[in-house]
């Protein structure tokens, strides 16, 4: 039972992290930086990759 609750929490946190990372990636300032220098902010990578990892671990916990 506890594994399922932890899994659901991890999925929710992962989804929020991934959305936050995408919002940082899609922000106007970030788009200008990418257009000029080609660099993506580290916060965007951390949010999207961290969110995907949390979702993956959460799905494993639910099973």
DSSP tag of 40: P
- Distance separating alpha carbons of residues 14 and 30, to the nearest angstrom: 22
- Distance separating alpha carbons of residues 48 and 56, to the nearest angstrom: 12
1 has a pLDDT exceeding 80: no
Q: What is the pLDDT of residue 63?
A: 83
Q: What digits encode the pLDDT tens for the residues 29-56?
A: 888 888 888 888 899 999 999 999 999 9
């Amino acid at each position: 039972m506890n594994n399922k609750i932890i899994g659901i929490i991890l999925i929710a946190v992962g989804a929020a992290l991934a959305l936050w990372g995408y919002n940082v990636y899609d922000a106007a300032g970030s788009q200008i930086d990418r257009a000029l220098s080609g660099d993506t902010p580290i916060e965007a990578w951390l949010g999207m990759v961290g969110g995907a990892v949390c979702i993956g671990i959460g799905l494993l916990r639910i099973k």
